[in-house]
């Protein structure tokens, strides 16, 4: 189905000269502020189209290979839904134990295989740097859906889109964003801190001592002139926070189970604690949650984490359309 004829983002025909056509999406470092405006413009439009018509044929005939070497509910199913809502189809490889990976096939060979059949590859892999390795092996675009403790760029894009949509366009400058939980192993916060450093934000990091934000990320953010501060409790920073970004302690990344036990349940956001927060602010979480936000906070209007998942669909639709030359 043709999209709105006067749309700045989704006009008729191909956009083979568009800057993102054929590109990989490996790191948030690839994005400028202008790029974000563009992605969010397309995502906003995708939202409108989904509301109006549900599914449309922008990517009709295109195939996505969804290759997941680690568990996923939201990322995998939202990429599938994004492709199908754009009229394309999906090769799902969620259980690598049923694919040739179980026979010892290397990542580059698996990628070379899939690109014979698909137009774009979405990859989640437990090793940092794996998406870049896959992108080098591939002629088709590779989208990083999480590489170990490295990055999760599409999550950071949808997180930032959520902030724009929930707290008003243009308002990210001047905001205080507090990241809470496992900042060491959480790839979503590594990407989000880097991406938000394109804006004039203030970043607070609240974590147990052994789960602090990696130096490397903090140095990159500092180089952009962004003020950052670390805390071991939420109390001091919560009243000034505009976005509270909560994360799960990444049990699967701990070598020592006792170390995990020592920090699990360190922070729990609940209605009582949230009485100290602003009325106009949001609580986000990439999900899954395993106790860091108590379910009795879910009905609070500031609880944005379920809406955040939905924004992910529109951002992933935008990214697929962009790398396939249709936006």
Return residues touching ligand NCD (CB under 6 A). Answer: 74-75, 146, 152, 155, 187-188, 248, 286-287
Minimum CB distance to ligand NCD smaller for 56 or for 245 = 245
To ligand NCD, the closest distance from the beta carbon of 186 in angstroms equals 6
User: How far does the chain reach from its first CA to its final CA, in angstroms?
Assistant: 15
To ligand NCD, the closest distance from the beta carbon of 200 in angstroms equals 27
Minimum CB distance to ligand NCD smaller for 22 or for 288 = 288
To ligand NCD, the closest distance from the beta carbon of 309 in angstroms equals 8
C-alpha closest to that of 242 among 203, 291, 300, 190:
203
Residues 141 and 322: their CA atoms lie apart, in Å, by: 11
Minimum CB distance to ligand NCD smaller for 58 or for 157 = 157
- The full DSSP string for 111-180 is HHHHHHH-SEEEEEESSTTHHHHHHHH-SS-EEEEEETTS--HHHHHHHHHHHHHHH-TT--TT-EEEEE
To ligand NCD, the closest distance from the beta carbon of 235 in angstroms equals 24
To ligand NCD, the closest distance from the beta carbon of 241 in angstroms equals 20
Residues 235 and 96: their CA atoms lie apart, in Å, by: 43
To ligand NCD, the closest distance from the beta carbon of 243 in angstroms equals 16
Q: Beta-strand (E) ranges in 198-239?
A: 202-206, 228-231
Phi, psi for 213 (deg, rounded to 5): -55, 130
Minimum CB distance to ligand NCD smaller for 49 or for 284 = 284
Residues 45 and 318: their CA atoms lie apart, in Å, by: 9
User: Longest C-alpha distance within the chain, in Å?
Assistant: 59
Minimum CB distance to ligand NCD smaller for 10 or for 64 = 64
Minimum CB distance to ligand NCD smaller for 3 or for 94 = 94
């Amino acid at each position: 189905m043709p999209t709105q004829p006067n749309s700045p983002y989704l006009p008729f025909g191909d956009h083979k000269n568009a800057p993102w056509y054929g590109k990989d999406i490996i790191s948030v470092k690839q994005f400028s502020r202008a790029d974000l405006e563009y992605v969010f413009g397309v995502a906003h439009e995708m939202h409108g189209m989904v509301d109006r018509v549900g599914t449309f044929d922008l990517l009709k005939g295109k195939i996505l290979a969804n290759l997941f070497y680690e568990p996923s509910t939201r990322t995998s199913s939202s990429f599938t839904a994004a492709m199908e809502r754009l009229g394309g189809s999906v090769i799902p490889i969620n259980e690598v134990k049923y694919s040739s990976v179980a026979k010892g096939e290397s990542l580059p060979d698996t990628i070379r295989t899939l690109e014979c059949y698909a137009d774009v590859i979405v990859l989640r892999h437990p090793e940092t740097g794996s998406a870049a390795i896959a992108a080098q092996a591939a002629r088709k675009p590779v989208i990083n859906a999480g590489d170990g403790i490295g990055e999760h760029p599409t999550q950071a894009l949808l997180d930032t889109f959520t902030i724009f949509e929930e707290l008003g366009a243009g308002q990210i400058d001047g905001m205080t964003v507090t990241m809470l939980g496992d900042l060491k192993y959480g790839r979503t916060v590594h990407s989000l801190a880097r991406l938000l450093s394109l804006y004039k934000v203030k970043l607070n990091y609240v974590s147990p001592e052994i789960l602090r934000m990696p130096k490397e990320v903090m140095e990159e953010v500092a180089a952009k002139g962004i003020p950052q501060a670390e805390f071991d409790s939420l109390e001091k920073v919560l009243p000034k926070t505009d976005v509270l970004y909560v994360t799960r302690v990444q049990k699967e990344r701990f070598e020592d189970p006792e170390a995990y036990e020592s920090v699990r349940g360190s922070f729990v956001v609940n209605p009582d604690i949230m009485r100290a927060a602003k009325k106009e602010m949001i609580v986000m979480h990439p999900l899954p949650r395993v106790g860091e936000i108590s379910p009795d906070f879910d009905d609070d209007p500031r609880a944005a984490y379920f809406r955040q998942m939905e924004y992910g669909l529109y951002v992933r639709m935008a990214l697929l359309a962009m790398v396939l030359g249709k936006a």
